[in-house]
Structure 1
Amino acid sequence: MTHTHRIDVSGEVVTKTYVDWGRGEHLREWTALQVIHAEKPHLVPAPIELVQTGARPSVTMSKLPGEPLSGTLTTEQLQGLRAALGELWSVSPAGVEPVDYEAFVDRVRQGISSWTGSGVVAEAQQAAADWLAGSAADELIKPVAIIIGHVDPNLANYLWDGTRIRIIDFEDAGRSDLAIELANLVEHIASRATDWTGFLEHFPVDPARLQAARRLYATFWLTLLRPDGPSSRRNPPGTAELHAKRLLNLLS
């Protein structure tokens, strides 16, 4: 597994040193924390210092309480997550760099055409390739409901203290789109144990756009989970086949 950063904790302070910062990850994190913390200081770490000199850049921030979410989320955790994301998405995205979704769509198209196999994974791959040949994915490139996107919705990045949720890890953050952020969350491999139906109903998002975004992210995960994919060895046997069936259902 590739690590993009190193974490050092000293008391109530966390320093995140970037091993890989080719996309300006340190600047994205620093900017997002500054913008969000100014309006919602209880929601994200307080930005303390950005260091860009030396071998590797780093961001120092406050340590937040809580334990990472995982597994099947409880009703209370879902409510907390909905509240936290609602707060995040209410912050003005002014000053935050956009996410390059054109590059992401291109990456998914290239990934889906770079593997041949058999069985239900290959069936899902072909169905996804057929869908990507149309224009639906391209329509997602330009944000509609513009928000600050977290962009890395692994459940481990949401800290639950038994009452509320706080959000960490903004190195991929940027100006994004509500439908894309929701799709990225519910299609993430870490989210599969939870039924998100009721959760999604609370957000004012165009159903067709959300469906297209979910198809895109589910296709992206197929490129990671299929045999020889970068995430195939980190998940139990049969994960790729289960995901392929999920994708086929989304594409039907």
Structure 2
Amino acid sequence: MPHTHVVTTQGELVTKRYVSCPRDEHLREWSALQAIHRHSPDLAPTPISLDLSGPVLVMSRVAGRPLAGSLTAAELDGLAAALGRLWALPTDDLPPVGLQPIPELLARVRADITSYCGGGIVGEAFGAAAIWLGGSEVDSLLMPGTPVIGHGDPNLANYLWDGSRVRIVDFEDSGVSDLSFELANLVEHLAGRGTDWSGFADRFPVDQLRLLTARRLWAMFWLTLLRPGGPAESRNPPGTGALQSERVLGLLRQGSAGPRGGEGRRGC
């Protein structure tokens, strides 16, 4: 992904200068911060100004350290509280989420899964994923869900913990999304693999079947990145692709026998 901005901090102000805005990141962040500030002003940075000629966005500084690794019970509580507040806010006519909206993600994963040829546990996972993607269950994600303000990039580093609460930063890919889709994106994000998410979804009024479907899709997305020769393979420890394959197969087994085997691969 191209570098989109440069951040500088002076006192209590943070200035974000956008050097690339292919998805109107500056407008997305400004609109989201304004919407959040109207209804929950201490949840995210306060928007101060937006200079479209830069574009340059100025906002308040938020104290705290980025979440990372295996989250403690207190950090999980803080994260759940922050997300609960965010997802309860009105969407205020925001645009659809900018990074990987559901139709775009589904089309991308289908294309990448069905074009892969390989063996071993990775090939098995790709084959099972191809079978599942050829069914009708995944298309249920295209039906309307519970609309929420979606962050768009739930890397744990975008949630700041000050010792007692979590606040949220970096809304440049934000927009209207779906509760199940956003929650699935969080728990399946590679940054959160050190955390036990058991029971976390139970804190939200989410449709469990829709959540499982979205989790499977996001897990397959990461599999396409982590496969041998994939764009993220070299940036992760050896064996990460195999572990992701096991994760995909495990999610496919939940709630059903789940497809397995390589007979679903296409294009080989």
- Please tell me the root mean square deviation across aligned C-alpha atoms, in Å: 1.3
Provide the residue aligned with 2:248 in structure 1.
247
Instruction: List structure 1 segments (4+ residues) > 4 angstroms apart after TM superposition.
Output: none
Residues 81-90 or 224-233, more deviating: 224-233
Q: Deviations over 1:62-89 (max 9, x none)?
A: 1100000000000000000000000001
Question: Displacement of 1:38 after TM fit?
Answer: 1.2
Change (3 A) 1:116 1:58: farther
Higher relative contact order (CA 8 A, sep 6+): 2
Whole-Å Cα distance in 2 between the matches of residues 58 and 127 of structure 1?
46
Show the 5 A alignment for 1:83-102.
83-99=81-97, 100-102=101-103
Higher alpha-carbon Rg: 2
Q: Secondary structure at the match of 1:50?
A: strand
Q: Deviations over 1:177-216 (max 9, x none)?
A: 1111110000000111111112111111111101000000
Whole-Å Cα distance in 1 between the matches of residues 142 and 31 of structure 2?
22
Give the share of equivalent positions with the same residue, in percent: 57
Unaligned stretches of 5+ residues in structure 1: none
Whole-Å Cα distance in 2 between the matches of residues 174 and 158 of structure 1?
17
Q: Is the 8 A contact 1:45 1:63 kept in 2?
A: yes
Provide the residue aligned with 1:113 in structure 2.
114
For normalisation by structure 2, the TM-score amounts to 0.89
Q: Is the 8 A contact 1:28 1:173 kept in 2?
A: yes
Residues 30-39 or 96-105, more deviating: 96-105
Unaligned stretches of 5+ residues in structure 2: 254-268
Question: Displacement of 1:104 after TM fit?
Answer: 1.8
Amino acid at match of 1:247: V
Counterpart check, 1:201 vs 2:202: yes
Whole-Å Cα distance in 1 between the matches of residues 24 and 108 of structure 2?
19
Matched residues, number: 250
For normalisation by structure 1, the TM-score amounts to 0.95
Counterpart check, 1:17 vs 2:13: no
Amino acid at match of 1:26: H
